[in-house]
């Protein structure tokens, strides 16, 4: 296929021009599904676990088994979340989210499978979004299944723990915050308003399985796609990598844009390294034929 010259990309010497051209050649004229990871949201101020310094600067994420079985783990989670949630809630989409939304509006993106729990794709205007790991905007009762908005739970958290409203901490991924253990002692955790059951963020925690029906819906999107664009995921977790494996088995070309290597690189038809906020708008311009 004939592809116009990469005028916008060549203006920035940090862009791998040949890699950029390969990406465009693979995607042009194809309806694509986007698989997005934490790297698309870092430019919105949401840290990731697996960035270049992620494993060294972050406390380990909460494990599902510990959350279910240990009162101390739940108290630690909600104490840190009470501090980290306001920053997370006020995050706004960046140019990468907006570029994906624009491509969806024009019919080039047929759906988004996101590993993120921040709902920034929806805030950017995207409509068909499968939240593979759920969304932090809701809390679910593990006993009766009642859902509660996270903003409402925040009010209850602060009412039970007034000093947390002014607590200072460094922001961590997924609405979390890094807090000294001594501050967490005595933290009071709200219960379900309907049955006094245990509350859990309505997300897939580490060690928990993605619901089967959600995974099936995501694969139905992939089945109808002509290309898979991986945006900002290291594919370290198999819940994301399996879509790259699936695309490869189906003969669907895979494009990966990320900072750093990924577990899916060997299966990619094209790969480009760099910031999503800089690259995706340029790619969108090329695919849409904008000057």
Positions marked active-site? 133
CA distance 176 to 88: 8
Sequential DSSP letters for 211-278: PHHHHHHHHHHHHT-SEEEEES----SHHHHHHHHHHHHHT--EEEEESS--TTGGG-SEEEES-HHH
Give the CA angle between residues 213, 217, 220 to the nearest 5°: 140
Q: Is 16 exposed, middle or buried (0-12, 13-18, 19+ CB in 10 A)?
A: middle
Q: Please, how many CA atoms are within 13 Å of residue 174, restricted to the half-sphere of its CB?
A: 25
């Amino acid at each position: 296929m004939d592809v116009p010259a990469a005028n916008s990309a060549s203006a920035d010497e940090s862009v791998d021009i040949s890699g950029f051209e390969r990406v465009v050649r693979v995607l042009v004229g194809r309806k694509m599904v986007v698989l997005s990871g934490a790297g698309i949201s870092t430019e919105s101020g949401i840290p990731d676990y697996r960035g270049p310094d992620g494993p060294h600067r972050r406390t380990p994420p909460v494990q599902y088994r510990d959350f279910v079985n240990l009162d101390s783990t739940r108290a630690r989670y909600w104490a840190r979340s009470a501090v980290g949630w306001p920053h997370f809630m006020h995050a706004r989409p960046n140019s990468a989210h907006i570029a994906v939304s624009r491509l969806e509006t024009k019919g080039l993106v047929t759906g988004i499978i996101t590993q993120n729990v921040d709902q920034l794709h929806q805030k950017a205007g995207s409509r068909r979004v499968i939240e593979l790991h759920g969304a932090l905007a809701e809390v679910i009762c593990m006993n009766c299944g009642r859902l509660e908005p996270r903003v409402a739970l925040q009010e209850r958290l602060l009412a039970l723990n007034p000093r947390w409203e002014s607590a200072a901490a460094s922001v961590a991924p997924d609405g979390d915050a890094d807090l000294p253990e001594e501050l967490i002692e005595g933290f009071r955790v709200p219960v379900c308003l309907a049955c006094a059951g245990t509350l859990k963020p309505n997300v897939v925690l580490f060690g928990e399985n993605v619901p089967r029906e959600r995974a099936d819906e995501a694969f139905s999107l992939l089945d109808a796609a002509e290309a898979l664009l991986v945006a900002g995921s290291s594919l370290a977790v198999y819940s994301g990598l399996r879509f790259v494996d699936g695309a490869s088995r189906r003969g669907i070309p895979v494009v990966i844009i990320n900072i750093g290597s990924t577990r899916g690189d060997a299966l990619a038809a094209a790969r480009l390294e760099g910031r999503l906020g800089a690259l995706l708008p340029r790619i969108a311009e090329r695919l849409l034929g904008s000057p």
